[in-house]
Every structure is written in C-alpha cells, then in structure tokens.
Amino acid sequence: MARITLAEVHDVAKLSRLSLSDAEAERMTTDLDHILEYVETLRELDTEGIEPTAHAIPLETPMREDRAVPGIDPELAVANAPASIATAFVVPKVIEGEDEG
Amino acid sequence: MPAPPGTLRELREALEAGATSSRALADAALARAEALQPRLNAFAGLRGEAARAEADEADARRRRGDVRSVLDGLPMAIKDNMVQSGEPAACASRILEGYVSPYTATAVQRLRDAGAVMIGRTNMDEFAMGSSTEHSVFGPGRNPWDPARTAGGSSGGSAAAVTAGIVPAALGSDTGGSIRQPASFCGVAGIKPTYGRVSRWGLVAFASSLDQIGAIAHTAGDCAAVLETIAGGDPRDSTSLPEPAPAYREALGGDVSEVVVGLPREYFVEEGVDPSVLATVREAVAELERAGAKTREVSLPHTRYGIATYYLIADAEASSNLARFDGVRYGRRARGARGLTEMYERTRSEGFGDEVKRRIVLGTYVLSAGYYDAYYRKAQQVRTLLRGDFDTAFEGCDVIATPTSPEIAFRLGEKTDDPLSMYLSDIYTVSANLAGIPGISIPCGFSQGMPVGLQLLGPALDEATLFRVADAFQRRTDHHARRPPEIE
Amino acid sequence: MSASDLSKYETSKYEIVIGLEVHAQLRTESKLFSPAPVTYGAKPNHSVEPVCLALPGVLPVLNARAVECAILAGLATHCTIHTRSVFARKNYFYPDLPKGYQISQYEFPIATDGWIEIPVDDGEANAAAKRIGLTRIHMEEDAGKSIHDDAIAGSDATLVDLNRAGVPLVEIVSEPDLRSAAEAGAYLRTLRSILRYIDVSDADMEKGNFRCDANVSLRPRGQEAFGTRTELKNLNSFRFVEAAIAAEARRQVEVLASGGEVQQATMAYDASADRTRVLRLKEDAHDYRYFPDPDLIPLVFSREEVERLRAELPELADRKSMRFREQYGLSEYDARQLSASRSLGEFFEATAERHGAAKPVANWLLRDVLQALRELELEIDESRLAPAALASLIRMVDEGKTTANSAQTLVPELIRDGGDPEVLVRERGLEAVSDAGVLAAAVDEVIAENAENVERYRGGEAKVLNFLMGQVMRRTKGKAAPGSVRELLVARLSDERP
Ligand SMILES: [Mg+2]
Ligand SMILES: [Zn+2]
C-alpha cells in the first residue's frame, strides 16, 4: 500500500472539493491503490517519443463567426439556482484568499 | 399487460398500414413502462402528457399525409444524461435533483424534428460511470431476462426498455462500452458511432474525448434508421465531424461475400473470459463465414493496456467535467454550510455517489502536479499505440469481430464491492472509444439463458459496413427475435 | 538615520526586477467560446447563454475574430506566431468560474518570444528607448464577477454575475526586464497604445478590460541571480500599478534590511494604506491540473493567414513617430505625443495636409486641442472637430483674420458641437480688430491711464510692455492682433517721449 496514501487521498479530495469521512477515505485509499497498481502495467511500455493522442479522429479547428445572439432570459438563467437575488446567483460569503484566480 | 410491441420497423409498418396510431403506441409504451418499472426500474422519469400530445400531433400529420420521417410518431426513450428544454435531466445523480434544462440536446432535437415521441428518460449509472446501472440515485436497473441480474451499464435503462418491449428504440451514450455492453447483456443491438459522428451538444459530459451518443434497438436496421436521423455535423460541437449523416439504411440487405472479418488473437484467448461466451461468439463468426464472409486472424497487441489507459483518461476528463456541479447555478446545494468551501464540499459529497467520487479523486490525482506525465500523458501516448493497432489491423480486414463482454450479465451486487473487477469487464469495448472507431453489439446467442453479444468494430467513419455485416447476420439468425420469457 | 533615510539607503543597494502579466480584453461582439454578447454594465446575468452558465451538456466553439485579434497582438509585439496552439483547462473552484475550470492556453500558446520598446523617460526631450521582452501571449476566457454588497446580499453572502464569464482575453506576459515602477508604467502605456493601434482591445483599465499583475523581486546591485519574487494581483489603474510596485519594493527592502528573507507569495495592494499584504503563501499555491481541453481541437491556421493579418497591421507608434520627425521636421517629443494614439496621428496628418504646414498644426493640436479634450473628458475620435475645420481655424489666425486668443476660445465648442470656424468667427464677432483708428484709440487710452507704468517702461523696464499690451488686448476684448498692438505701442511710447 504505497502507491497512494491516506494523506494524499485527503489532499486530492480537498482539491476536488469533496469531504470524505475517515472510513470513506480509508476505503478509497484501498480502492485507488488497487487501481493504481493495475494501472502500473502501462510502465512496461516504452512510450518515449510517441505523440500523445487527445482525440482519436483528426478534425479541423472549427471556429464560428463573431456574431452575438441575444442571451437567454435572465430569469431563466437563474431559474435553477439554489439561491438567487433578482437575477444574481447567491453563494456563501467569499472570503479573501479563497480567491483562486 | 399490453402486448409487447415489435421492432421499430414493424411499428412503422403498422402505422403506415393504419393498424395502429402513434397515440396508441405512446399509450402502450407509457403503460408498459409504468407496469414494468417496479421490476426493471428502467426509467428515471416519464413524460406522460407531453408524449401523448406529441403522439396526437404525429397522428394528425399522418392523416394530412405529412409524415416527417421513418421515425415519425414512434415512441422512443433517451438516457437521463441528455437534456431537453423544459424537462429534467439528472444523470441519475442526486446533485442534479430538480434540475430543468432550458435547452435541448442536438441528437434529441433531431429525433423530435423527425417526429419521434420521447416517452421518458432511462435509468443509468450516475454520470454514466459504471457498467451495471447500479450506481443510480433511482436505484439499480434490472435485466428483463433475469431481474436479479444487471441490465449492464451505463445505458442499462435504455437497453432494458428496448428489451422489455417498452420502446422499439432508445438513445444511449457510450464512453467505454456503455451502449454495447448493456445491449449485449440484454440481447438487443447497440451502436456506438465513430467519435464525432453524433453531436455531443446537450449530452452531459463524462469523458469528452470518448463520449458518443448512439442507438439501441432490436435490429441493426433499426439502429441505422435512428443513427441516420441523429448523425451529422453540428456547429455547436467542435468535435463533431462536419459530414452530413450517411444514408445508413442503404447498407442493409447487402451480402457479405466480399467482407473480411478480422479476429484479434488477443481477444480470443481463454483467459479472463467465460468459455461459453467465447464459444457462442465463435459460432457467430462461423455463421458469418457461412454467409460468405472471409475471416482472418489479426493482432491488436496493446489490448491488454486498454483498461488502464481508458480509466486514466476517462477519469481525468471526468474530474474536470464534473467540477461544474458545485451548487451555485443549478442542482442540489447542501443546506446549512458555513462559508463557501464548506458549501462546495458538502454539496459535492452529498450530491455524488461513491463511484463518482472515486473517479473524481482518481482523475484529480492523475492530473495533479508531479503525476501528470506518469499517468495522464502516458495514457495519451498509449492511446496512440492503441489507435495504431487498429490502423494496422484494418489494413487486412473490413471489420473486427470480438465478444462484446467477457461474460453474461452478472448478478446485482456481484461487483459493487470491487471497482477494479467492474472495470475489467469493459476489456473488449474500451479500445473502440480510445481509437474513436465505431462498434456495434448484436445478440448472437445465449448462455445460461442469458444473451451473449457479438461486437463488430469498423474503421473510423465506416458504420455502414458494420450495419451491413450485422444486418446480414441478423437476417440469418433469430436471436434478436427472442424475448424475455416472463414478459412475453 | 530616520526610517525613510534607511529605506532610501537600502533601496539604493538593491535593484528592483519586475515582470508584468497583462490581461487585455479583445474587442469582439460575442464571447470567446459562446455566442452570448459581450456587454458592459448590463444587469447581472443579462448577457449569458447556456455556455456561459456552464449548464450540463454545453460545449465551447471558438470565436474566429478573437483568434485574429490574438494573432494581431502577437504580430504587433514582434512575437513568433504559432500556427498550432492548444487550449487547456485550468482547474480551480470559484463561484465566478462556472465550469470549475478556465479555458486558457498553457503548454502551447499562440504567440511567444516578442518584444516592445518603451520610452525610458529621463526628463529630457530625447528619451532613450528600452526593449522589453515578451515571454508569451495566450488566449483565455474571463471569469464572471463576485459582487460583495452587504445591502443586497447580507453580510454572509456574495452575489455572482456571469455576464463577463467567457469574454475573450489575451494574457501578455513580459520577461522580468523592467527595473522600476516608472518603467512598468511606461511598459503598460506602450502596450495599451499598441493594442489600441491595432484595434484589438479598448485596453481601458477603468472598465476592467486592461488588467495587470506584477511579479516583483529585489536583488543586490551587480548580482546576476534573481531574488525571490512575489506576485501583486489585480492592479487596476496606472497609478495603482506604480504605487503598488513601489510599496512592495519598500516592503521587500525592509524585510531584507532586517535580515529576513522574502517569501514567495501572492500579494494585494491596499491603496488607502499604501501598503502591500500577503494574500496567500507559496505553500498554499493551487494545483491547477492543466490539461488539453478535450472539448476543443488544437487551434491550427496557415502561415498565409498570418501573413494576411500582418499585411493588415497598421503603422505602429514607434514607426509613426520616427516618420513624423523625418517627414514633418517635428521634435522627438512632439512626434511621440502625436503618435501616441492612432486616431491622434491620423488627425494630425489630415489637418497638416489641409493646412499645408505641419508645425503650427502640431502646436495647436498638442496645446489647445488636447487640453480642451482633457477638460471635456473626450478622446480625439469622439470629437466633432474635423481636420478641415482645425486647418481653416489655424489659417485664419495665420492670415490675421482672427487672433490666436479668439481662435482658442472656439476650440472646445468645435470639439463638442463641430461647425465651420469661419462662420463661428463671424457670428461671434471674433474678427481681428484691423481698423487702425480703433486700435490707435485703445493704445492712446492705455498710455493715458497708465502713466506710472509708461514711465517705468521709458525708464528702461522693457518687460512693462507686456503689461501694457495686455491692457490693450483687454480693451479690444482680445480681438486685436498682438503683432499690430506691439508695433503701435512701441511707436507711440517712443513718439511721445517728452
Ligand atoms: Mg497568469
Ligand atoms: Zn490569465
């Protein structure tokens, strides 16, 4: 059990904005360790110099003309929101430093 | 219980002959869906009133002699990860509880424009992550041949709905086998087209470079009719192929005497596959030979790396694709959280199921600093090798035949405690997604009373040959005509 | 030594090293990956469609004009344009980032290895130019806006508006070639001028479509290796940028002078206190998990396309300024001022052509017209003053039909409302007083009423003449030609010498 540690699972969960109970995290560590062990078979392959494939089918870069269409009705834009005021979404107070941009 | 309807084609002929009406078909489909729901759990939601109204419109059109297409007035279903304006789409997830889409997926819009009547949304694994439709907020989907077994996944609800005669055809999505494997488990046909053939606009993304919408029906011919309708370039999907939809039905009825069927050495090994499944598939290949097709052995040497490659790529993309489910703009937000971070964490932890969380964590991990090259980049390189395998193989054959799944439908709960064993059951299907090529599964026999699927893979863009070979096979066999006994 | 002396002393020991990251909004109608309109000042979420909201199932499609703008920006800054670039996802959670990732470019940006030349102002008219390297230019989408308004949202909530989400940006990253806050300011002004010249961005800091982050470090003078740098975020006005860099440099000097070490961190500038403070330390840095966006195909275009755009590129400020000096014999300073914006340069040339002489036109533009524009808070291209009208106004002054004073008073009106100067001069009665009798009478009256000053002039105080001239001008309401007034005054004052 060394491919991924409990601490790493907690870190990655935090990065993914998931909070895991201790039991969940332990379970996940076991599962992921298992999967990563399996994934290690890829190491057998020498891929030096091989181009990575992002898409299997060659496609041309599609672009659209710079033409604006009217946006959707603002009421509709926030219709699914768990919380909104007028046409703005509402979230719990953003604390400075939580800003990640 | 109303009589089980037949194939898409039979229903169309009945409509044309005036033997039934769209409204009668919609009523029957809705009634059957409701009646079978406790047993199969094939649906995430039904559109009773809207479907009936649309069926009435189709009937009115037909009376005026204004029939829109071969699908006009026929009942269909879509997977719960495709959006329709004014309707829910939950991806079988708690996190999308209450969500109503303000726009419609291109594939669904094309079906509706063709006059097809959507009767409801089918059950699936949450966000299409799974091979058994057990990871669903709506509860597990079940196999019409044996409700103690899985219908397969993630498009298990669509496959079950067709198998059980609720609808003659349904849309599914296939990221690593999610159309073909449930089709195989349920004894119906399912096509995953070439990547880019069908627009992904309005398909809730799992793994963007692998996801593809396709059709499930009883016959290859019915699949062709649906694919013809939904395929073709879409300016709203940068990864869609610009070509218009080919007339796939023209490939039907052809003979296969010129066709060379490749049999990949690596797929026909006894290891890791149910011997009776392998025997059934071998017999199906023999049937193709009797129809005049040539066979030859080909090699796909990197097959054994497919699963690892697939899970690294799919989960990495998924971890990013699922970041938008954050409780800010839509869906279910956890109550009572103090501060933004806690709101995010609780919303996502409460909203996602275990399998989705596992994938998000794995995907995040393999993209994170220090691991990207070892995992993600490496997987993208192996993907190049896997593509190369197919390029080479197709130099010597027209289609490749394999089992769709190494086993028959497994029992519910059998693999839920061992994610890796669940992943490994996708061994024959993931490569097509990684290489972007089309694949179809058609019923080719039974083992222990459960259906077995034959998978045919073709070169990119050549769905037509798949339809031709599958159709030729189905014209010589009657596996697709069998129905689950308790339902008949 | 006082604290400020100490810091001055310490400052002289260190060299400040600055690299800037500028985000400039590209001038397009629609967003980078969605057809939603780009608007300014719209109500929350009035300029969004499903892609901007990151609704389930949506997909990005690239805006062709935004790509052209980015290529033009690269060409205008002497970058290598890459005919294949890749959009990548930058993953992080924030409410104004609807997808949970920003589509940007990472490993393969559209342009790299450029430079621009900035004037290094030493207070002299002949300032030298300094070349500043550009590391890269990449395309990316903007985030939305978090609104902190306790009155609306309450003190424990934040509002989110996604109108700006998805607006096309280029991020322009400089090499750490800047050595002072003033150089950083000059760099920004030059960059802004270039982007406006090629018409790819309004580059208006006030509207938030030209934003700047600064990487600041110190090193002992003479040392080759860079010191540890900090990043100053969100510097949203030119004044701010220079003040913030200066404040951060002071802070780092104090840290180093007290034997400490600068810690790698993201900093914010507090303008009211004129101090910088830590937002977050390096160890809390985010892991953005960049990877190629699988919803997009690599951006590929042809060399021919790049050459087509290169041919469209207008003459830029430095080239134009040089030409103005050569072609019109202008001073370096005037040439630089007149080429500071494309529209001013074009206005100058159009006026000079109609008038026939460049220098008076340059003077009028740089003095009277620019001052009036400043007062009216208008840009030259918002003005209704036509080049032909300005040329005609200047010619009337040249020909003595009106005075410079009178003409000056008409400039703001011509800018605001337009019109024909000849008609205005006539209507307002601003013709120069050419009637010799009227002028003579005014001169005589002034001499008679200012006996004491007349005496001083006659006693040898030549500068008193100016005062007397002013008096005559006042009496003629500025309509007398100063040359004639002077001539007549001097004549009368010597005539009537007792
Ligand atoms: Mg940056
Ligand atoms: Zn940026």
Instruction: Give residue C257's pLDDT.
Output: 87
Please give the full DSSP string across B88-152, using - where no structure is assigned: B--TT-GGGTT-B-SS--HHHHHHHHTT-EEEEEE--SGGG--SSS-S-TT----BTTBTTB---
Q: Are B192 and B186 in contact (CB under 8 A)?
A: no
C244 CA distance to ligand 2 middle (Å): 20
Distance CA B293, CA C328 (A): 84
B343 CA distance to ligand 1 middle (Å): 27
pLDDT in tens, B230-248: 999 999 999 999 988 899 9
A41 contacts on B by Cβ (under 8 Å): 304-305, 308
| C59: nearest CB among B82, B83, B201 | B201
Q: Can you point out the beta strands (E) in C54-148?
A: 62-63, 80-81, 84-85, 87-91, 101-105, 111-120, 128-141, 145-147
| Residue C259 Rama label (left phi>0; alpha psi -120 to 50; beta) | left
Query: Where residue B1 falls among pLDDT bands split at 50, 70, 90?
Result: very low
Picking from B320, B340, B361 by the largest number of C CB atoms within 10 A of its own CB, the best residue to mutate is: B320
CB of A100 within 8 Å of a chain C CB? The answer is: yes
C16 CA distance to ligand 2 middle (Å): 24
Specify the DSSP element, H or E, that contains C210: strand C210-220
Residues 6+ apart with CB under 8 A from B223: B169, B189, B190, B191, B214, B215, B216, B217, B440, B467
Instruction: Give residue B172's pLDDT.
Output: 98
Q: How far away is chain B from the Cα of C240, in angstroms, using its nearest Cα? A: 30
pLDDT in tens, B356-382: 999 999 999 999 988 999 999 999 999
pLDDT in tens, C216-261: 999 999 899 999 999 999 888 888 899 999 999 999 999 998 989 9
Query: Where residue B485 falls among pLDDT bands split at 50, 70, 90?
Result: confident
Q: Cβ of C99 and B324 within 8 Å? A: yes
Query: Where residue C286 falls among pLDDT bands split at 50, 70, 90?
Result: confident
Q: Cβ of C56 and B235 within 8 Å? A: no
Q: Cβ of A71 and C156 within 8 Å? A: no
How far is C-alpha C377 from the geometric centre of its chain's CA atoms? 14
Query: Where residue C496 falls among pLDDT bands split at 50, 70, 90?
Result: low
Q: How far away is chain B from the Cα of A27, in angstroms, using its nearest Cα? A: 10
Q: How far away is chain B from the Cα of C225, in angstroms, using its nearest Cα? A: 26
pLDDT in tens, A25-63: 999 999 999 999 999 999 999 999 999 999 888 888 899
Q: Are C141 and C86 in contact (CB under 8 A)?
A: no
Mean per-residue pLDDT of chain C: 90
C295 contacts on B by Cβ (under 8 Å): 205, 208, 238-239
Residues recorded for chain C: 498
CB of C285 within 8 Å of a chain A CB? The answer is: no
As beta bridge partners, residue C147 has C159
How buried is C127 (Cβ within 10 angstroms: 0-12 exposed, 13-18 middle, 19+ buried)?
middle
How far is C-alpha C362 from the geometric centre of its chain's CA atoms? 20
Q: Specify the higher pLDDT residue, B272 or C394.
A: C394
Q: Find the residue in B nearest to C158 (Cα).
A: B340
Q: Find the residue in A nearest to B317 (Cα).
A: A54
Residue C326: is its pLDDT beyond 60? Answer: yes
Catalytic residue numbers of B read 79, 154, 178
Instruction: Give residue B424's pLDDT.
Output: 87
pLDDT in tens, C122-141: 555 455 789 999 999 999 99
Distance CA A63, CA A65 (A): 7
pLDDT in tens, B448-470: 999 999 999 999 999 999 999 99
H helices of A1-101, where? 6-15, 22-39, 74-77
Average pLDDT over residues C412-416: 93
The mean-pLDDT minimum among B148-162, B410-424, C4-18 falls in C4-18
Q: Are B448 and B324 in contact (CB under 8 A)?
A: no
C23 CA distance to ligand 2 middle (Å): 6
CB of C56 within 8 Å of a chain B CB? The answer is: yes
| B340: nearest CB among A52, A60, A91 | A91
* Residue numbers of A between 13 and 52 with CB closer than 8 Å to B: 13-20, 24, 28, 31-32, 34-36, 38-39, 41-42, 45, 47, 50-52
Q: Cβ of C291 and B205 within 8 Å? A: no
Closest of B8, B27, B11 to residue B19, by C-alpha: B11
Ligand nearest to the CA of C143: 2
Q: Cβ of A69 and C49 within 8 Å? A: yes
Q: What is the ipTM of this complex?
A: 0.97
Instruction: Give residue B24's pLDDT.
Output: 98
Please give the full DSSP string across B424-456, using - where no structure is assigned: HTTTTTHHHHHHT--EEEEEEEEETTEEEEEEE
C318 CA distance to ligand 1 middle (Å): 28
Provide the whole-model pTM.
0.91
Q: Cβ of C53 and B207 within 8 Å? A: no
Average pLDDT over residues B89-94: 98
Residue C464: is its pLDDT beyond 90? Answer: no
C135 CA distance to ligand 1 middle (Å): 12
As beta bridge partners, residue B403 has B454
Average pLDDT over residues B311-334: 98
Query: Where residue B4 falls among pLDDT bands split at 50, 70, 90?
Result: very low
Q: Find the residue in C nearest to B371 (Cα).
A: C289
Q: Specify the higher pLDDT residue, B20 or C496.
A: B20
Q: Find the residue in B nearest to C34 (Cα).
A: B236
CB of A9 within 8 Å of a chain B CB? The answer is: yes
Query: Where residue C497 falls among pLDDT bands split at 50, 70, 90?
Result: low
Query: Where residue C458 falls among pLDDT bands split at 50, 70, 90?
Result: confident
pLDDT in tens, B151-162: 999 999 999 999
Q: Cβ of A74 and C43 within 8 Å? A: yes
Instruction: Give residue C27's pLDDT.
Output: 97
Distances (CA, A) of C120 to B481, C11, C135, C217: 84, 20, 21, 20
Picking from C32, C33, C45 by the largest number of A CB atoms within 10 A of its own CB, the best residue to mutate is: C45
pLDDT in tens, C145-191: 999 887 887 778 999 999 999 999 999 999 999 999 999 999 999 99
Distance CA C444, CA C58 (A): 86
pLDDT in tens, C50-97: 999 999 999 999 999 999 999 999 999 999 999 999 999 999 999 999
Q: How far away is chain A from the Cα of C38, in angstroms, using its nearest Cα? A: 8
Residue A98: is its pLDDT beyond 60? Answer: no
C21 CA distance to ligand 1 middle (Å): 6
Q: Cβ of A77 and C48 within 8 Å? A: yes
Q: Cβ of B323 and C56 within 8 Å? A: no
